[in-house]
Structure 1
Amino acid sequence: MEHNTNETDKSLPLSEEYNNLMGTMKVSVSKHLLDEYFTTVWANDYYYDLIGYPKDEYEVKFKNRPDIYYKKHGYLNELEEITKTVIETINSGKSDYSIITRLPVKGKKGHVWVRMNATFTDEIINGKQVSYTVITNIDDLVQTQKTQLITTNNLPGLIFKGIIKNDNELELLDVQDKNDKLLNYKNEHYNMMSDFNRQIIKNHLIDIKAGNHIRFLAKLKDNNGENIWMQINADCIDWIREEPVYLFVCIDVTDLTDLREMQTKLEKQSIELQKALKEAKNANRAKSEFLSSMSHDIRTPMNAIMGMTEIAQMNILNTDKVNDCLKKISISGQHLLGLINDVLDMSKIESGKMTLRNDSASLPEVLENVVSILQPMVKSREQSFSIRIRNLVHEDFYFDALRLRQCFINILSNATKFTPEKGSITVDVEEEYTGDPDYSKLIFTFTDTGIGIKEEFLNNIFDSFTREKDGRVDKTEGSGLGMAITKKIVDIMNGTIEVKSKVGMGTTFIVTLPLKIDKNKIKDYTLPNINVLVVAEWVDSGKYAVEKVIKAHDEKKDFDIVILDWMMPDQDGIETVKKIRASINDDIPILIISAYDWSEIENEAVGVNGFLQKPLFRSTLYRALNKYVLKTNEEDYLGRKTNNYDFTNKNILLVEDNELNRDIAAELLSITKANIECASNGKECLDMFKSCEENYYDIILMDIQMPVMNGYEATKLIRNLERKDSKTIPILAMTADVFSEDIHAAKTAGMNGHLSKPLNSSIMMKEINKLI
């Protein structure tokens, strides 16, 4: 895939981390156009350190043109050699070349010897192909080799004669060492045959047995016991008892060998850098593709929001039309917020700032929230959605409920997107005993009958910034971060996630988590004997339920309670209730079980005492029977939360610099009948608090990022005032900064809590109610 741009100076450089790494390793990396000038697009800091020119001076003096640079320094042969190599590489169809040459540098030295490794890419800038060049300074290596060559030419060397025995040992017969210092052969305990050298003899054994010439590199000990490397040439000159006698001519090449090792290491580093460069390019390409797709995905809901707003304004007197527009604006806004949250979450994960809470939380509550969120999506596509509970002994554990819910929604939202209409999605929840009485293993299995995932993408499904390239899913929007975030969260929770999929058959995700049991909330669900009729959709019918109730009534053995499934084969639960009430006209409690939102049928549900949402947990059933049969619990089991907060006679100081956000927050708070006063920055808030009588304000809602004075400063100054209520008045932070360090900063400043933007009205009311 080609990447085109028209501005060479806007090409993305490597990350600071890679730049520092390459500088430390003294390796230059640069990016060039394959034009007649080899135009430099970008180079790392070490490139300019190597040539001795600051970047600004190089650009002004040589116009980012290496051809001018070589010509002005008089290195025309080197320029011609590089040009010839590039042309030959292009003509041969190859994509890379390597060359050792002289690189001009500033100063008296004039040049350094370097190895250039270049790779041609598919990237196009200004119509020209791009090449990446890695330059390694090998000047010390070349200079040392030259010196060593002179030394070894004058070296008298070492000559010895010896028998190579049948057991591969060497018996010395004669040694001539004019310097008398290379080997400690006069020591009676001297043994030339180290394990390394024995292996060399074994490698040449066939030639040795045949008396052929051999040549090898051996490691020996000098008079000081230090390792030295000897280049050895040996010829067979005699035979004694069918064992060959060899004359060995040796040259000390220790320095050269060390340099070869250094060169090998440099070459290895160069290869690793090339690999790192390729990975960086791939990462940049993935992020570019991500930004491209995200720009489309963000524009889509934004266009919907802008368009629906305009339509609503044009039809302001048409209530139905306005309500329809507002509903679509809300859906688009939630989708846009989800995309932004994904990016922020991934940023936290990559920077190591994602931390998870470990509070006591209710698993049933998490699953019920997931069902509520997914219901509109599932219903709109007429999909079958169910959660099945197996062996769930405990319901309360220690975990981060928000993050676990996020994982489940990420998996299930994908399932709804990629499952055709009228397909099915199933969640199985199972608890397994771990052997540790304090912990349980929870297994969540998510199965759908969707389009499936191609095998080649399965290995990358948990990678960041990736989405499957497939015509089947091209129209599906998303950040491409959901599964990566899910994997990271599961990893932090010490769990595992695996995926199985077949194209056209569907996909299964299995999440396994070790969770600590909250033993403080383990309850005894024992009830007295209760006569219960349960009519389930997959076994019974509404007609069966009516018959059973009438029969029991005639026999004066009325059921204490009847629990019906909403959806049954012959008649639904509502119709069944009507027939039961018409037949016996008795006050038997009747509850309806449903996986769907009951609010749509609430008005039709005459005669229904309550609704229970699937999945049905032991605790839910226990509380329902207590309420409707034993009359011992008045909690609302219809699944509704009472949110009619009344803050009459409460004074709330709302501090928000953005006028629109301030109006929204004030409007949401107005339904509580509270008195709302507003300030546009921290200084105004401080002045208003100082000028009012003590205990006038009941709570302050404080934005953080504001002009003149921010929320942290204002809170600290309020807490330091010499008045009784300055230390006690509740102050809630309102901010889009939701990193853990931001929450800590709010607490450090003296705030009592933290509300994340955009504001969730139910959470805001709940927090305010808790504090006042």
Structure 2
Amino acid sequence: LRTGFVRVYAVLLLITATVAWWLVLAHKSREVAQEESNRQTRLLMQEIESHRLTDEALQQARLAAEHANQAKTRYISTISHELRTPLNSILGYAQLLQEDTGMAPHRAQAIRVINRGGEHLLSLIEGTLDIARIESGKLALDVRPMAFAGAMQEVAGMFELQASAKGLRFVFETGSRLPDTVRADEKRLRQILINLLGNAVKFTQVGQVRLRVMHAREMAQFEVHDTGPGMRAQDLERVFEPFARGQNEVAPGPSTGTGLGLTIAKMLTDLMGGEMTVRSAPGEGSVFTVRLFLPEVHGAVLPRPLALPSHTGYEGVRRRVLVVDNEEADRELIQRWLEPLGFDVMLATSGLDALALLDGLQPGDAGAPDAVFMDLAMPGIDGWETMRRLRASGWGVVPLAIVSANAFDKGLDNDLGHRPQDFFVKPVRRDDLLGWLGLRLQLAWNDVPPSAAEMLALPTQQQPGVEVTRGRDFEPLLELVRLGYYKGIVQWLDDWVQDHPEQAAFAQQLRTLAREFRFDAIEQQLLQRHV
């Protein structure tokens, strides 16, 4: 019996020891697991805190970048305003001087040089502003149906002339049938292609330039091939940076480029939801490829713009216009434009001066203005505040247009509800102002009489000592006119006058129309007289 109890005791003791050991191990395991859990929790909290600090740093960096970008935009806007103000006078008075047919040839040439320099400066300003608008999100696309196939033919025809002038071969290829009409921002699409093809022709000295256009499944692909010097790998990395130029990109003669063409083309492509790539190697030329979503439009009828007439006056009672601008040259320029057409022009040097001139007058009174041209940046009170006070005084019924050098204000929301159609950016074109006045004042214009209109074209009968130009000689010019390529038109006319000096007067008239962007008037003159 004792032996049995001893055995039972030993077994129970062994079981008790095993359970006790198991309990100790389980407790230790829980302690170790708890410690590991606590350690992992601390590490996770540390990681969360690190992420929070990193996110705060990123937010601060983003805010700093936004503030820097806004400061850059304000700087560019200010610089643009300061440049546009004198440029408005330069181009405006150059336009007036070019209309003087009695000017000596050497002085007329000097005026043309001044005008070209002003136009080049304006293109540089516009390019810089385009970049600033895109970066700040203030550039809106104007998407509408466009004649796609015809536009591609026009672009190809224009650069075929430029390539031929340099002794280059230009090839235009279409992978398949191009749609007649697509939805796109035609101005920006042309701007992309003109920048790419312009660089290709400019930097290619021998060989060819090829434009290949394909359209399938609503996607359009444009390829610009050239046999130029090509670019190195390090140049490809910065080819889309502003003012960047590769070491091999050297064109003979003075460079007229701004260094912004590829930058703007790339940014516009991205803005349109597309993709632009480039591949190149030294001595093998370059290939720029653009892919854009351009859906085809069926059954669209595209309106054809009408030619702008030349006005000599208007019918009815004499109208009065108030010009408010702190720049004397800009005030006098508008005055010189309007007074020969029969307008009475009132001049004010500031917003406070304008309010003083109108004090005691009401719309419709004798001596009250029928329309107002208002600058924005002026001493004392700016144009916006002046407009508020005018409206509060009952002048809100009088048509008012803003004429300002601040291009960033156009199209922006304002508490006055001023429309973009009533906003003109300096340097302003005379026909734009006259068109606005005619529309808002419902004027019946007196156009150029037939005898004066005939002076704008070549005579239909050959005069002694004057050679009548054949119609086919103007086909290259018509291509440039239909494309709206101002610089190409002026260059073609300059080259043409060298071979036909007796046609200098006619060429000067066409240059005047081109500078006023009256391309339809030029085309009408050429088609009526020479085709």
TM-score by length of 1: 0.41
- Please give the alpha-carbon distance, in whole angstroms, between the structure 1 residues aligned to 2:145 and 2:38: 67
Corresponding residue number in structure 1 for 2:219 = 441
- Cα 1:174–1:419 change in 2 (3 A) is farther
Q: Distance in 2 between matches of 1:391 and 1:368?
A: 13
Whether contact under 8 Å (1:701, 1:734) holds in the other structure is yes
Residue 178 of structure 2 is aligned with which of 387, 392, 400? Answer: 392
Where is the strand percentage greater, Structure 1 or Structure 2?
1
SS of 2:196's partner is helix
Amino acid at match of 2:240: F
- Equivalence for 2:393: 721
- Code of the residue aligned with 2:310 in structure 1: it is N
Determine if contact 2:128/2:260 at 8 Å carries over to the other structure.
yes
Q: Secondary structure at the match of 1:222?
A: helix
**Residue 496 and residue 733 in structure 1: after superposition, are their counterparts in 2 closer, same or farther (change >3 A)?**
same
| 1:452 maps to which of 207, 217, 230 | 230
**1:469 shift after superposition:** 3.9
> Partner letter of residue 139 of structure 2?
M
CA contact (8 A) 2:231 2:248 kept: no
Contact 2:156 2:211 in 1 (8 A): no
Name 2:453's counterpart in structure 1. Answer: none
Partner SS state of residue 223, structure 2? strand
Q: CA deviation at 1:741?
A: 6.7
Q: Deviations over 1:40-78 (max 9, x none)?
A: xxxxxxxxxxxxxxxxxxxxxxxxxxxxxxxxxxxxxxx
Q: Describe the shift of the 1:369–1:712 C-alpha distance in structure 2 as closer, same or farther (beyond 3 A).
A: farther
Contact 2:211 2:224 in 1 (8 A): yes
Number of the residue aligned with 1:494: 273
Distance (Å, rounded) in 2 between the aligned partners of 1:669 and 1:369: 36
| 1:192-243 deviations in Å (ceiling 9; x for gaps) | xxxxxxxxxxxxxxxxxxxxxxxxxxxx5228xx6155xxxxxxxxxxxxxx
The separation in 1 between residues aligned to 2:374 and 2:157, in whole angstroms, is: 31
Whole-angstrom CA distance in 2 between matches of 1:701 and 1:770:
15
* Aligned residue type for 1:406: Q
Quote how far apart the aligned CAs of 1:489 are.
1.6
Change (3 A) 1:672 1:468: farther
Deviations 1:145-189 (A, max 9, x none): xxxxxxxxxxxxxxxxxxxxxxxxxxx9978979x965328xxxx
Larger Rg: 1
Which residue of 9, 29, 34 corresponds with 1:222? 34
Task: Give the Cα separation in 1 of the matches to 2:160 and 2:375.
Answer: 34
Q: Is the 8 A contact 2:159 2:170 kept in 1?
A: no
Which of 308, 311, 314 is equivalent to 1:642? 308
Q: In the TM superposition, what is the alpha-carbon distance from 1:694 to its structure 2 partner?
A: 0.9
In structure 1, the residue matched to 2:288 is 509
Q: Report the alpha carbon displacement of residue 644 of structure 1 after superposing the two structures with TM.
A: 1.0
Which residues in structure 2 correspond to 1:293-372 (within 5 Å)?
319-361=104-146, 363=148
Q: Cα–Cα, structure 1 residues 750 and 507, in superposed 2: closer, same or farther, change >3 Å?
A: closer
Q: 1:659 aligns with which of 324, 328, 331?
A: 328
Letter in 2 for 1:466: A
Q: 1:494 Cα shift?
A: 1.7
Structure 1 residues 678 and 263: CA distance shift in structure 2, 3 A:
closer
User: In structure 2, how many angstroms separate the alpha carbons of the residues matched to 1:384 and 1:762?
Assistant: 39
Matches within 5 A, 1:649-688: 649-669=318-338, 672=341, 674-688=343-357
- Aligned position for 1:244: none
Contact 1:497/1:509 (8 A) holds in 2: yes
Q: CA deviation at 1:521?
A: 2.8
Q: Which residue of 2 aligns with 1:183?
A: 29
What is the Cα deviation at residue 359 of structure 1?
4.2
Q: How far is the alpha carbon of 1:441 from its aligned partner?
A: 3.2
Contact 1:731 1:752 in 2 (8 A): no
Q: Distance in 2 between matches of 1:408 and 1:483?
A: 10
Find the aligned partners of 1:498 and 1:491 in 2 and give their Cα distance. Answer: 11
User: Which residues in structure 2 correspond to 1:94-243 (within 5 Å)?
Assistant: 183-184=29-30, 221-222=33-34, 227-228=37-38
Structure 1 pair 755–380 and aligned structure 2 pair: CA distance change class (3 A): farther
- Asked whether the equivalents of residues 231 and 282 of structure 2 are also in contact (C-alpha less than 8 Å), the reply is yes
Instruction: From the superposition, tell whether residues 744 and 668 of structure 1 become closer, same or farther in structure 2 (CA, over 3 Å).
Output: farther
**2:284 and 2:49 mapped to 1: Cα distance?**
51
Q: Is the 8 A contact 1:412 1:446 kept in 2?
A: yes
**Deviation at residue 323 of structure 1 after TM alignment:** 1.9
Secondary structure of the corresponding residue to residue 417 of structure 2 = helix
Structure 1 distance, partners of 2:343, 2:149, is 34
Say which SS state the counterpart of residue 745 (structure 1) adopts: coil
> Higher relative contact order by CA 8 Å / sep ≥ 6: 1 or 2?
2
Other structure's SS at 2:224 match: strand
Q: Which amino acid aligns with 1:442?
A: A
**Structure 1 residues 350 and 387, CA gap change in structure 2 (3 angstroms):** same
Q: Contact 2:219/2:292 (CA < 8 Å) preserved in 1? A: yes
* Cα drift, residue 419 of structure 1: 2.5
Are the equivalent residues in 1 in contact too, given 2:273–2:293 (CA < 8 A)?
Answer: yes
Q: Is the 8 A contact 1:715 1:751 kept in 2?
A: no
Distance 1:660 1:365 in 2: 42
Amino acid at match of 2:177: N
For 1:500, what is the secondary structure of its paired residue?
Answer: strand
* Residue in structure 1 matched with residue 382 of structure 2 by the alignment: 710
For the residues of structure 1 that align with 2:165 and 2:159, how far apart are their CA atoms? 10
Q: CA offsets, 1:251-270, max 9 Å, x none?
A: xxx79x9499779979x97x
CA distance in 1, matches of 2:158, 2:119: 11
Deviation at 1:713, TM superposition (A): 1.9
8 A contact 2:325–2:349 mirrored in 1: yes
Conserved? CA contact 1:358–1:399, under 8 Å = yes
1:753 is aligned to: 422
Structure 1: where are the runs of 5+ without partners? 1-171, 186-219, 230-253, 292-297, 435-439, 524-618, 621-634
Shift of 1:510: 2.7
1:125 aligns to what?
A: none
Deviations 1:544-599 (A, max 9, x none): xxxxxxxxxxxxxxxxxxxxxxxxxxxxxxxxxxxxxxxxxxxxxxxxxxxxxxxx
CA contact (8 A) 2:323 2:372 kept: yes
Change (3 A) 1:456 1:685: same
Name the counterpart of 2:261.
482
How many residues in Structure 1 have an aligned counterpart in Structure 2? 380
Letter matched to residue 37 of structure 2: N
- The Cα RMSD (Å) is 5.0
What's the secondary structure of 1:705's corresponding residue? coil
Alignment map for 1:237-256 (pairs within 5 Å): none
- The letter of the residue matching 2:413 is H
Residue among 373, 385, 405 paired with 1:736: 405
Query: Does the CA contact (< 8 Å) of 1:743 and 1:754 recur in 2?
Result: no
- Name the structure 1 match of 2:462: none
Deviation at 1:771, TM superposition (A): 3.3
Aligned ranges for residues 13-52 of structure 1 at < 5 Å? none
After TM superposition, the structure 1 = structure 2 runs for residues 573-592 of structure 1, keeping only pairs within 5 Å, are none
Q: What is the deviation of 1:490?
A: 1.4
Read off the aligned partner of 1:694 and give its amino acid letter.
Answer: G
* Alpha-carbon separation, structure 2, partners of 1:705 and 1:446: 44
Separation of aligned partners in 2, 1:506 and 1:717:
61
